[in-house]
Chains A and B, each alone.
Chain A
């Protein structure tokens, strides 16, 4: 297995122009989504298996340092989705490969168009929620405060 540092350095080294950056962004967003997804799935299963643990972990997800991660997660999903459409279309349309550079620009443009308003909306909603919580907004939830349900 290549060393991690070498892998990261070589992945970032500029080689394939715009298509290369799309490749890097697709890969990083995919891995980031998968990491969250795995945690999220095992956590959500607790709603059935251990409801009080689930009630506690929901509040950890709402704890501000974790909650802000929701915005980059949204960005990752949107970019991965839009760039995924681009990849799939080009896979089946080799005659469009000459527009590859333009296609990456369109993907980034569409992504910004969709993500920026949504990101701002999510951020404002989040701030309003924290303001409504008063002094407790930064308090880390303690498991002891979540007694077993039933």
Chain B
């Protein structure tokens, strides 16, 4: 990728195959960038500007009364979980050497990730604040 001429370094142009690992590598950088706003923002808003000691279902209902926060949380959910699970896959692949086992582990992680995102995403989308508001 890099073509800059730097003393003390040898540079070679290589054609990087666009395979799954390459996409996973790029995905980690792109989702990481998104999480700088989504996850760090979430931590600052919920844990610094608001205090966890004020957290209650009424507090959640007040936030999820707006589609803006629902969309923010759904994006956070999707990016954080896929980024985290792909990172976990990277870690496990460092220690599991049997390709068959790697395949099984990856499948389990993928299924778990999809189920989790769907389950929690559905909950956010369907959440109705009305019963919790005004008390």
Contacts and interface: CB of A to CB of B under 8 A. Distances in A.
Interface of A: 1-2, 7, 27, 30-31, 33-34, 37-38, 41-42, 44-49, 51, 54-55, 58, 61-62, 67, 70, 74, 77-78, 81, 84-85, 88, 91-95, 97-98, 118, 121-122, 125-126, 129, 149-150
Contact of B84 (A33, A61, A67, A94): A33
B120 interface: yes
- Chain B, interface size category, equals 35 or more
Interface string B109-135: 000000010011011101100011000
A55 B60 CA distance: 11
B127 A150 contact: no
B1 to A, nearest CB: 7
A95 B4 contact: yes
A95 B127 contact: no
B87 A41 contact: no
B131 A150 contact: yes
Given A44-B120, A47-B57, 7 more contacts: A7-B95, A41-B116, A58-B55, A62-B52, A70-B47, A88-B32, A91-B29
Contacts of A2: 95
Nearest to B32: A84
A61 B52 contact: yes
- Interface SS of chain B: helix, strand, loop or mixed? helix
Contacts of B123: 44-49
Interface string B37-56: 00110010001100111011
B1 A92 contact: yes
B16 interface: no
Given A48-B124, A150-B131, A30 B87 contact: yes
Given A42-B119, A67-B52, A74-B47, A1 B1 contact: no
17 contacts: A27-B91, A31-B87, A38-B84, A41-B81, A42-B119, A46-B123, A47-B123, A48-B126, A51-B57, A54-B57, A58-B56, A62-B55, A78-B40, A81-B35, A88-B29, A94-B11, A150-B131
Given A42-B120, A45-B119, A37 B131 contact: no
Interface of B: 1-2, 4, 6, 8-9, 11, 29, 32-33, 35-36, 39-40, 43, 47-48, 51-53, 55-57, 60, 64, 77, 80-81, 84-85, 87-88, 91, 95-97, 101, 116, 119-120, 122-124, 126-127, 131-132
A125 B51 contact: yes
Contact of B53 (A33, A91, A125): A125
Nearest to A92: B1
B53 A81 contact: no
